[in-house]
Structure 1
Amino acid sequence: MVQAYILIQTEVGRAADVAREIAEIDGVTRAEDVTGPYDVVVRAQAEDVDALGRLVVARIQRLAGISRTLTCPIVNI
């Protein structure tokens, strides 16, 4: 199992809507709108890195209102 934080920049005024939509996606464990350089922070999980990439590209980046994402896989030591 791979887990990651996905940092998202949205169009102005869309953060809350984007966070609500992302929270409904399978594999997303948490989605919150925040302040700072990113507008939404998501915690997600997938079976492997390839599945995580598909989740981000095919499900999250296609939502209306998203301008940029940054995926940060969690490293467990």
Structure 2
Amino acid sequence: MMHRLCPLALLLAVAACAPLPDLDAVAPPGPAMPPPALRPLDQVLAQVPGASTDPAAALDARAARLRARAAALRAAP
């Protein structure tokens, strides 16, 4: 176990010593932008087909399928 951890620790130590690039030199910062406008969740979910704000029906159906699968596994030899 120790033979496997030593090379990993060495690789992590070498990677930690790597210099990080100066991102401001690569791409200058752009203009300050306002944060995006927040939209109500109902409007966002209305655009997604099949999305619902109440997951109870989907969870009940999934639970029923899982119970049926468990019963089938118990009955299998």
Q: Please tell me whether Structure 1 or Structure 2 has the larger radius of gyration of its CA atoms.
A: 2
Task: Flag whether TM exceeds 0.5 (same fold).
Answer: no
Q: Which has the higher strand share?
A: 1
Q: TM-score, normalised by structure 2?
A: 0.19
Q: TM-score, normalised by structure 1?
A: 0.19
Q: Pick 1 or 2: higher relative contact order, CA cutoff 8 A, min separation 6.
A: 1
